[in-house]
Every structure is written in structure tokens, then in C-alpha cells.
Amino acid sequence: MNDLLNQIELVGDWLTSSQQWRGDDGIPHRLLEHLTYSGLSLLFATLIGLSFGLLVGHTGRGAFAVASVANLARAIPTFGLVVLVVTLAGLSTTPVLVALVALAVPPILINTFEGVRGVDPDTRDAARGMGMTGWEVLLKVEVPMALPLILLGLRVAAIQVVATATVAAYPGLGGLGRFIVDGLARNNYELVIGGSAVVVVLALVVQAVFTALRRVIVSPGLQPSATRS
């Protein structure tokens, strides 16, 4: 118990030390690097996942192919993918982005597809009966009703990316994973635990942001189903 309290005290001292909040090795700089990798990865994954999820969900064509590709991507080990792409492409941000995008696409793609396909067929027929075009049905009916599941997919992808972006440190790049990698190399567990704590706090902030976003943009009538998701 005393050892645990000592570790907590050491980590607290590390987090509150002014040295950790300035310079290229400080928390703000590493956090910015981490957010850059995570943000770019999530942006690319959202463009891919949403586009194909909406298209296949709306048309119903290619559902089996989408599920197969998503499941295949989900099975790829992220760290192994980073190492492979580093070997092929050299040391850069590319392997990290490729790996994180591959990790983030499946939950966005599957949830978007399932959300759109789960819209009541009678609602679609009623919209078409009112003279709506296919695009209008998608944008004005299907997307709003699928929004809880779409946001759930984005939230899961964002948390996974933020947590996994620590792999950026392994091929020699930055981010919050730098604290963990350097701490393990030096047997400095204060650094490892401190860096891990910052990653956990960041993941919790992402969770809170998506929870607040759901409450703001999802129709009140769909809030209960969003909560159950």
C-alpha cells in the first residue's frame, strides 16, 4: 500500500513539475503531436468510413464486401502494420497514419452502414411518396435517424485512435507514447505511469466530447436509442 501511495505521489510530482510543461519533451508539445496523428487519422478514416457506409447502406449494394473488408481491417495488428509500413516506406508519419486509419475505419463504416440500413422501410417509402429524391431521402431522413449509431462509431474510433496513437513512439516518432517508450527504456516507471495517465485523461475527454455532441445534434426523439447503444 505504501509503495502504491509513493508511486502516486511520484507521478503527481512529475505531472505538476514545471519542467514537464515546457520544451520539446514537455507534455504540451507531446500532446500536440499526439493530437495531430490522431486528428489526421480520424479525419481520413471518417471520410472513408462515412462515404462507403452511407453509399452501401443507402443502396444496399456491396453489403457483404463492406462487412468482409471491415472485419479484415479489424483483424490487422496495429503495431505489426506500423513495423511493416516503416520497413517498406521508411521512417515517417505515413506508417503511423496508415495503421491508425486502418484501425478507425471499421467501427465508422459498420455503424454508419447499420444505422442507415436500420431505418424503417415505411419511413423511406413515405419520404419517397412526398417526392423526395434519393439524395434527399439519404440526407434528410436516413442520416438523421442513423445519427446515434454513426456517432457511436465515430466515438469508438476516436477513443481507439487516441489510445493506440502511442505506437507512434515505437518507430522513433513523437506523441504521448514517447513518455511510455522512454520510461520503459530507462526503467523509469514514474514516466511510464505519468504518460499513461495523460493518455487515459485524453481518452476520457474524447468520450465526454462525443457524449455532449450526441446530446446537442441528435433529435430528442432518438436520444433513448442513442443511450442504449
Cell numbers linked to 204: 476520457
Within 10 Å of residue 57's Cβ, how many Cβ atoms?
A: 25
Give, as one character, the DSSP assignment of residue 140. Answer: I
pTM: 0.84
pLDDT band with cut points at 50, 70 and 90 for residue 223 = low
Q: Could you tell me which of 144, 138, 66 has the C-alpha nearest to residue 105?
A: 66
- What's the pLDDT at 78? 66
Residue 185 identity: A
pLDDT band with cut points at 50, 70 and 90 for residue 79 = low
Fold of 2-228: MetI-like fold (1.10.3720)
Asked if pLDDT for residue 201 goes beyond 80, the answer is yes
CA 208 – CA 38 distance, rounded (Å):
17
Task: Name residues whose C-beta falls within 8 Å of residue 81's C-beta, 6 or more positions apart in sequence.
Answer: 95, 98, 99, 102
Give, as one character, the DSSP assignment of residue 172. Answer: T
Q: Which whole number is the average pLDDT over 67-80?
A: 71
For residues 66 and 53, the answer to whether their CB atoms sit within 8 Å is yes
User: What is the percentage of the chain residues whose pLDDT exceeds 90?
Assistant: 23
Asked if pLDDT for residue 163 goes beyond 80, the answer is yes
- Considering only residues 75 and 27, tell me which one the structure prediction assigns the higher pLDDT: 27
pLDDT band with cut points at 50, 70 and 90 for residue 74 = low
CA 95 – CA 83 distance, rounded (Å):
8
Q: In terms of residues, how long is the chain?
A: 229
The residue assigned the cell 462515412 is 50
Indicate the average pLDDT of the chain.
Answer: 82
- Considering only residues 79 and 216, tell me which one the structure prediction assigns the higher pLDDT: 216
The maximal CA–CA distance of the chain, rounded, in angstroms, is: 71
Asked if pLDDT for residue 208 goes beyond 90, the answer is yes
CA 123 – CA 141 distance, rounded (Å):
8
Asked if pLDDT for residue 205 goes beyond 90, the answer is yes
Element (H, E) at 2: helix 2-16
Q: Which whole number is the average pLDDT over 116-127?
A: 86
